[in-house]
Every structure is written in C-alpha cells, then in structure tokens.
Amino acid sequence: LGDTARVPYGTKSLGTVERYAIENAKFLESRGIKLLVVACNTASALALPAIRAAVKVDVIGVIEPGAAAAVAVAEGQTIGVIATEATVQSSAYSRAIAKLDDSAQVIEQACPLFVSLAEEGWADSPVAETVAAEYLSEFKPAKLGALVLGCTHYPILNSVIQRTLGSEVPLIDSGEATASEVQ
C-alpha cells in the first residue's frame, strides 16, 4: 500500500504517523495478508510497536534489517545514516545499531530535500549534486564503513550519493535488507 494521499510521513508528528500507520495496517489486515512489511522508515521508526499492537499478523519494519546490514559490512568503521527528520530525531537506527554493536560510531543526517528530488525525477540533476554535497559533507572526514539509505525514496538517488561519497563507501538499502529478511 502506497499512502500517496498522506505522504510525506517524515515531517509529521508521532501521533499522526502512528494513526496513519495503524489505519493502513488494519486496512491491509482486512484483506487477508499473512505478513505486514512496514517499508516506510519513518513509520518503522515511530509506529512499529503501535502497529504490532493493533494487528494480529506478524509485522516487520525496515530499521532492524537495515541496521544489521550496515553492521555486517562496516567492519568496525563509522556507520552513517541518512533519513527523514522524524527518523533521525527518533534515533531508531542508532539504537538498532547499538544493539548489534555497542561500540559502533553512528552519524545521522536528515536529508529532507532528497524526497522531493526523487519524486520530481531530479535524482541525477545538478540540483541533486549540490544538495547531496551539502547534506553529505559531514560524512567525508568520518571514513564511513557503510551508509544506510534510511528512507524509501533515497535509493532513487543512489548514483548521486555514491558519487558524492566515493565508490569505497557501501550504500545500504534498508528495503533490500528487509526483503532478504522476509525471504
């Protein structure tokens, strides 16, 4: 279910995200689903416990699989996380990474304009290059072992993000990591 009528979630309050996510989960549950994947990082970060309490099917979010994939490839180096403002403020990725590796260094950065760039089809534009350079500048001196793309929209900007950080930084698509877990 793509809730295109009420996106973006990344700028909304906890209460609003929980309400929308529960409504969506109950709608899908009424259609006979056997498993619910909350593919939105913001909904996973803010509303997963509420969703699990509201439905009777198993629920998987994208935070834990994305964190696990990052820890697996970072090999003790700093892990970067880019996400919406709400996901960054929740510290969901930092907590999930710390559960797996309590010595891991994590740098999180909100990148709200990435959503608009992806939706407008400007992923490989000069504007995207400029925005990426600004958002990702604090990651360059950190020598990242991995960068988590902590928003469903961000893999659309994969090329510009990779060019900005360099080919040596592994990019972790939390959606791909979650798909592997579901499989």
Report pLDDT digits (tens) over 39-95: 999 999 999 999 999 999 999 999 999 999 999 999 999 999 999 999 999 999 999
Q: What is the dihedral of CA 154, 105, 14, 44, to 10 degrees?
A: 60
The reply to whether 111 belongs to the active site is no
Residue 132: CA count within 13 A, CB half-sphere: 24
pLDDT of res. 10: 79
Best CA proximity match to 62, nearest among 75, 47, 76, 77 = 47
40 as an active site residue: the answer is yes
Catalytic residue among 17, 38, 40, 92: 40
Catalytic entry in 106, 117, 151, 177? 151
What value, to the nearest 5°, has the Cα angle with vertex 178 and ends 152 and 47?
A: 65
Q: What is the pTM of this model?
A: 0.94
115-173 pLDDT tens trace: 999 999 999 999 999 999 999 999 988 889 999 999 999 999 999 999 999 999 999 99
